[in-house]
Amino acid sequence: MKIKSANFVISNSDVSKCPNERLPEYAFIGRSNVGKSSLINMLTGQNKLAKTSGRPGKTQLINHFKINDDWFLVDLPGYGYARVSKSVKKTFQSFIKNYFLQREQLICSFVLIDSRHEPQKIDLEFMEFLGENGIPFCLIFTKSDKLKLSELNRNVKNYIKKMTSTIWEEMPPYFVTSATSSNGKEELLQYIDKINNGLDKNL
């Protein structure tokens, strides 16, 4: 798939105000500072589509971007940022949860994982929430350029071992990416394109 157009449509914290169009949606979410905005910009080929920041917690709303007038890329707030107040964090959790449970157009969620770190409890718990509610998801390991290949392979292998030794019978699909080198871009877009081609266009 080649992305010919990527346009911002709307930001909000109310699922009922998300676009009415019956287009497939792919949600991107992860812990704060996991490299989500950089990944989205890399995938779309637009350096400033998603706002990047050295300060975690920059994304605080549900952001819809229409891709090729054919599907939506949904940029969701990061979770687990300790410096966000408890009341605000509760609000984030509420509308994020509502999005996943209520949004019929959602086809697949991509959970971003920083490939430099060991499996984090908050990531595993979030994926468990998705699994318990029957929400399809894939993993995206980010920042692969920050590691030696041997370290990267070891960390991914450890993640697979951790997940399949707990509640998961098998590992969900996963991608290894780098916003710097564009590693994983083609594989990820091909995956989305394949799903789109098999969908009923009326959802």
Give the model's pLDDT for residue 201.
Answer: 59
pLDDT score at 36: 92
Alpha carbon distance 182, 174 (integer Å) = 16
Give me 123's structure tokens.
Answer: 């990531």
- Hey, where are the domains in the chain? 6-197
Q: What is the pLDDT of residues 3-17, one digit of tens each?
A: 999 999 999 988 999
Phi and psi at residue 80, to the nearest 5°: 85, 20
Give the CATH H-level superfamily of domain 6-197: P-loop containing nucleotide triphosphate hydrolases (3.40.50.300)
- What is the predicted pLDDT for the residue at 72? 97
Per-residue tens of pLDDT for the chain, all 203 residues: 999 999 999 999 889 999 999 999 999 999 888 999 999 999 999 887 876 544 444 457 899 999 999 999 999 987 765 455 565 455 457 888 899 999 999 999 999 999 999 988 888 988 998 999 999 999 999 999 999 999 999 999 999 999 998 888 889 999 999 999 999 999 999 999 999 999 875 55
Q: What is the pLDDT of residue 203?
A: 57
User: Sheet of 25-30: strands edge to edge?
Assistant: 6-12, 62-67, 71-75, 25-30, 106-114, 137-142, 174-176
Tokens of 92: 């984030």
